Amino acid sequence: MPQSVPSLPRRVARILRTSLFAQVACALVLGIVVGKLWPESATAFQPLGDGFLRLIKAVISPLVFCVVVVGIAKAGDLKAFGRIGLKALVWFEVASTAALLLGLAAANVAGPGTGMHVDPAKLDASAVDRQTQGGALPSTTEFVLNALPNSAVGAFADNALLQVLVLACLVGAALLHLGHTRVPKILPAIEQAQEVVFAVVGFVMRLAPLAVFGAMVHLVGQYGLGVVQTYGKLIVLCYAVAAVFLVLLGVALRLVSGLSLWKFVRYTREELLLALGTASSESVMPRMMQKLRQAGCRDDAVGLVLPTGYSFNLDGASIYLSIGTLFIAQAVGVDLDLGRQITVVLVLMLTSKGMAGVPGSAFLALSATATSLGVVPAGAVALLLGVDRIMDSMRVTTNLLGNCVAVFAVSRWEGALDTARAKKVLDGGIACAVGEGPAAESAASDEGSGAESTVEKRSTAKEPAPEAG
């Protein structure tokens, strides 16, 4: 007898029950509707998104620590880890500089602020101070010093990823130096802790639809949809430039590794939609680390490149800052010549590196840039207060994809990428097991491919690291 076809309501219910992407998408639409119809409820729903981000941030530091330590110990080569870090920094600098130049070129051609004739004296400059909470971007020296932990516990308590990375590198190096025979129980304990953290991530991610719903109600209710009409040209330009930049990233990824960025987007669509809805790339860092490892990237490359990119590779922010600076200048009637625009690039190359984790960092970077030019009133940054939150979606998505492409590129550059496995995973030939830890990933790998490649064995094998020194 032919099998009965489930009715449409049953199929929809099954999809909503089993697909995180469908749940988040529905929460996104529902949040927009509720925020539009009942804007007074914006504040009431904000804790849903804030609470989810708190839970995710609670596991990011231990996860990064475990992945980096295990990656170094299993790779068995500290020099290779250093090469990965150096190559990642080179990639980050090239990519972020390209984003800045692309944004400046687009703003010169489109002129999003031309004809606004804004009087800076009538702008509320104190609103920028309220947005930034009186903070300031760190200097280069402060940035370097802040990356060094002065307390092992404090690095985790403050969720300072760069400090956690430094600690993880030191612990991984110590494990390599002491060897398995002198500390035989440390590495297995860290691996087991990693399993626990991944399981916690799986539990927390079940709350993602609620977080997206709360975040969207707050956004639409507080800012409304009218801001899209007021700043339409600027919004369209930023998103269009981001799209062009992602196309260029896709071309670079294809040339470097032979992989498709579009297939990766499809592979990580749940994470991207969640990041889009919550306006936070940190909310999906644990899941992205898992998916990159499943896609053939070695543990040490994922553990170092992705978290470091959150501070050094802000491609979306670079696009927004370059376009925003010229938008402000055009709006107040200031003509920036080529020399001053080169100054903009140089200043933003420095200020954008200290943005991560600083409240109102985009406004601080824009104010610093305006001050360095000496011709654009710093208070004119207030022009972007109404549109900044809408730009978060562009910044977060572009930053996240830029960092993931960096992981693939650097892994391929260092020989830490199983390209055959990556293509199978992105084509859907290997089942994904996200949220259940490395053990589940290993089982999915065995089911999908039958045998691991040489690169995969290096990252998942259970043999002890060779004794060093």
Each residue of 61-96: pLDDT tens digit? 888 888 888 877 776 667 777 888 889 989 998 998
What mean pLDDT do residues 150-179 have? 85
pLDDT band at residue 338 using 50, 70 and 90 as cut-offs: confident
pLDDT band at residue 425 using 50, 70 and 90 as cut-offs: very high
CB–CB of 384/327 below 8 Å?
A: yes
Phi, psi of 417 (to 5 degrees): -125, 125
Res 19: pLDDT: 74
Res 244: pLDDT: 95
Res 465: pLDDT: 43
Res 249: pLDDT: 94
CB–CB of 285/307 below 8 Å?
A: yes
Strand, coil or helix: 203: helix
Choice between 135 and 346, residue whose per-residue pLDDT is larger: 346
Each residue of 301-332: pLDDT tens digit? 898 888 888 877 888 888 988 898 888 888 87
Res 63: pLDDT: 85
pLDDT band at residue 208 using 50, 70 and 90 as cut-offs: confident
Number of helices followed by number of strands (H, E) in the chain: 23, 0
pLDDT band at residue 464 using 50, 70 and 90 as cut-offs: very low
pLDDT band at residue 449 using 50, 70 and 90 as cut-offs: very low
Residue 467 has pLDDT above 50, yes or no: no
* CA-wise closest residue to 114 among 336, 316, 344: 336
Amino acid at 444: A
Res 452: pLDDT: 40
Q: Distance (Å, rounded) from C-alpha 235 to C-alpha 369?
A: 21
Res 262: pLDDT: 94
Residue 197 has pLDDT above 70, yes or no: yes
Lowest mean pLDDT among 200-214, 233-247, 348-362: 348-362
Choice between 226 and 212, residue whose per-residue pLDDT is larger: 212
Burial readout 98-115 (b: 16 or more C-beta within 10 A, e: otherwise): bbbebbbebbeebebbee
Lowest mean pLDDT among 184-193, 204-213, 375-384, 428-437: 428-437
Each residue of 127-155: pLDDT tens digit? 555 555 555 555 667 767 877 888 888 88
Choice between 467 and 410, residue whose per-residue pLDDT is larger: 410
Region for residue 308 given its phi and psi (left: phi exceeds 0; alpha: psi -120 to 50; beta: otherwise): alpha
Residue 238 CB-density burial (10 A; 0-12 exposed, 13-18 middle, 19+ buried)? buried
Axis-axis angle for helices 232-257, 315-331 (nearest 10): 150
Per the prediction, the chain carries an average pLDDT of 78
Measured on CA atoms in the order 256, 257, 262, 268, is the torsion positive or negative?
Answer: negative
pLDDT band at residue 1 using 50, 70 and 90 as cut-offs: very low
Q: Distance (Å, rounded) from C-alpha 46 to C-alpha 43?
A: 5
What mean pLDDT do residues 386-399 have? 80
Measured on CA atoms in the order 157, 161, 163, 167, is the torsion positive or negative?
Answer: positive
